[in-house]
Amino acid sequence: MIKNVDDYFKSPILKFPIKSDIGLTIPQLHVKCYKCRGKNVSIRANIYERKRCIELIGGSACPKCKMITPFKYRLYTDRRQMLNITGRWITVNPIKKPLRIRILDFLKKIFYII
């Protein structure tokens, strides 16, 4: 976890989408400012490839209140997303499959029924 401003500036600026070796893609990530809930934050984080997830450990800096919100984020191979801001992990909405894949899934379902 980022503990101070130096840690934050030592972490790389993230460039989205983030693609991992285990086939996961993080299209975008929003970590709201913990103080003002503002969304206009710049995120820096280190990327760690785990066995079944990608983990980002970093911080989001708020230009308004000059505060850094430390966070950990994980995207699992089953598309589950977890975010840890206050020391507790919470589940965020799973990343939707791309439209092309969703259409294919839908067609497969129809053909199985017919």
Nearer CB in complex with Zn ion: 29/75: 29
Asked if residue 108 lies in contact with residue 100, where contact means CB atoms within 8 angstroms, the answer is no
Bridge-partner residues for 73, per DSSP?
56, 83
Nearer CB in complex with Zn ion: 41/57: 41
Interface contacts to Zn ion, rule CB under 5 A: 33, 35-36, 38, 62, 64-65
Q: What angle do CA 28, 82, 39 make, to 5 degrees?
A: 45
* Minimum separation from the CB atom of position 8 to Zn ion (A): 14
* Minimum separation from the CB atom of position 23 to Zn ion (A): 35
* Minimum separation from the CB atom of position 41 to Zn ion (A): 7
Q: Cite the beta strand spans of the chain per DSSP E.
A: 18-19, 25-26, 42-49, 53-62, 67-76, 81-84, 89-92
* Minimum separation from the CB atom of position 80 to Zn ion (A): 28
Nearer CB in complex with Zn ion: 13/36: 36
Asked if residue 43 lies in contact with residue 59, where contact means CB atoms within 8 angstroms, the answer is yes
